[in-house]
Amino acid sequence: MTERITKSMAKNIYYGGGLFALLIFAGLTFDTVKQIPERSNQVAMTESVVHGKSLWEKNNCVGCHTILGEGAYYAPELGNVFKRRGASDATTFKSFMQGWMAAQPLAIPDRRKMPQFNLTETEVNSLADFLIWTSKIDTNEWPPTIEG
């Protein structure tokens, strides 16, 4: 007689396997959620960072840019623009941001344009603070290159 899997064996595999996968899923979810406050660098979220985030949304920067991979692929990723254009120094980056935002749109032919938003100096500094804060989120070294 050939060995056969009985109905109750199949049931045990189904329920046992299901429960096992569910427990792993719950464990990993708990582990991830527990790490969020530290990885997102929440303590450094100042009022200026929050203001910068609201300006980011109001002006639809994400309609052209990605931030940590989310958004549109028309313009450069900005999750790491602090490292790319500010050499990870806040003063350097803020002066880059003031210059960059004021100079738009660049009069360079055949180059994608960024609009002029007419933001105040304080608003640009807040956007810079938001981008600095974002660059310090622990993303497991993502994006992989400084240019993207």
Residues near ligand HEC (CB under 6 A): 59-61, 63-65, 74-76, 78, 81, 84-85, 100, 106, 111-115, 117, 127
Nearest approach, Cβ of residue 36 and ligand HEC (Å): 25
Structure tokens at 46: 């100042």
Interatomic CA distance for residues 148 and 127, integer angstroms: 19
d(CA 87, CA 65): 20
Q: Least distance from C-beta 136 to ligand HEC, angstroms?
A: 16
Nearer to ligand HEC, 1 or 108 (CB): 108
Looking at the Cβ atoms of 65 and 94, the one nearer to ligand HEC is 65
> Which residue number, 41 or 100, has a Cβ lying nearer to ligand HEC?
100
> Whose Cβ is closer to ligand HEC: residue 16's or residue 115's?
115
**46 Cβ contact partners less than 8 Å away, ≥ 6 residues apart:** 129, 133
- We find the least distance from the C-beta atom of residue 62 to ligand HEC, in angstroms, to be 8
Instruction: State the Cα–Cα distance between residues 90 and 42, nearest whole angstrom.
Output: 18
d(CA 93, CA 20): 49
C-alpha distances in Å from residue 125, one per residue of 62, 110, 114: 18, 29, 18
Cβ 42 to ligand HEC shortest distance, Å: 22
